[in-house]
Amino acid sequence: MADVTPLESEVAGLIVETLDLKIEPAHIEPEAPLFGAGLGLDSIDALEMSLAISRAYGYRLRSDDPQITETFSSLRALCSAIARCRTK
């Protein structure tokens, strides 16, 4: 877990808290899929997560963003999008 960035561990904490997951934030593999097979999140989880990200970082995820599938693919991809687009 040495290669996890501070933003990644912060966002992992946000995801676990927002979705009330029964795992430790540190157990979210940064490159593992968040949806479907990996953490087993669904599209309503994605929405709830995006609402929390919008509140915390001022970054509103949009479905018409051509990168959206990539953004949702893993914690790492999500965090690089947050780093790029955050307004707070």
Partner 1 sequence: MSLGWRRQRERGHRLLLATIIRIALGLGRSAARVLLYPIVWYFVVFSGPSRRAARRYLARVLGRRPGPSDLIRHFYAFASIILDRVYLLTGQFHRFNITIEGLEVLAARLGEGQGCLLLGSHLGCFDVARACGRGYGIEVKLVMHEDNAPMIRAALARLNPAAVTDVIPSGTAEAMLRVQECLARGGVVGILGDRVVSPAHIVECPFLGRLAAFPSGTFRLASLLEVPVVLFFGLYLGGNRYAIHFELLAERIDRARPDRAGAARYWTERYAERLEHYCRMAPYNWFNFYDYWGEEDAVNTPGGATLARRPAERLPT
Residues that bind partner 1 (CB under 8 A): 19-23, 34-35, 37, 39-44, 46-48, 50-51, 61-64, 68-69, 72
Residue among 22 and 88 whose Cβ is closer to partner 1? 22
Q: Which SS3 state, helix, strand or coil, does residue 74 take? A: strand
Residue among 8 and 34 whose Cβ is closer to partner 1? 34
Smallest gap from Cβ 36 to partner 1, in A, equals 8
Residue among 40 and 58 whose Cβ is closer to partner 1? 40
- Give the Cα separation of 86 and 31 in Å (integer): 21
Q: How many CB atoms lie within 10 A of CB 60?
A: 13
Residues in a beta bridge with 41: 35
Which residue in this structure is represented by tokens 């309503």? 44
Smallest gap from Cβ 83 to partner 1, in A, equals 19
Smallest gap from Cβ 45 to partner 1, in A, equals 9
C-alpha neighbours within 13 Å on the C-beta side of residue 28: 30
